[in-house]
Amino acid sequence: MSPRSSPRAHNRGRLRITALTTFLALVLSGCAAAGAGNPPAEGPSASPSASPQATAGAAADGPPPAATMVCGDETRTNIVKALSLPSEPPTTDSWADKLYTCTYSLPFGHLLLSVKETPDPAAARTFFDGLQQQAAGAAPIEGLANLGFPAFQTPTSAVFTKDNFVLTVDAAALPATLGPHDVSRDAFAYQIATAVLACWSE
CA separation for the pair 139, 154 (Å, rounded)? 6
CA separation for the pair 39, 154 (Å, rounded)? 32
Q: Report the percent of the chain where pLDDT is more than 70.
A: 69
Quote the DSSP letter at residue 6: S
130-145 pLDDT per residue, tens: 999 999 999 999 998 9
Cβ-defined contacts of 23-26 (< 8 Å, 24+): 23/82, 23/191, 23/194, 23/195, 24/194, 24/195, 24/198, 26/78, 26/81
CA 45 to chain centre: 22
Q: Which residue type is seen at 130? A: G
> Band of the pLDDT at 54, cuts 50, 70, 90?
very low
Cβ-defined contacts of 142-150 (< 8 Å, 24+): 143/13, 144/17, 144/20, 145/13, 145/16, 145/17, 145/20, 145/190, 147/194, 147/197, 149/197, 150/125
For residues 58 and 166, the model is more confident at 166
For residues 81 and 14, the model is more confident at 81
Sequence-separated (6 or more) residues with CB below 8 Å from residue 50: 65, 68, 69, 71, 72
pTM of the model: 0.76
Domain ranges for the chain: 7-200
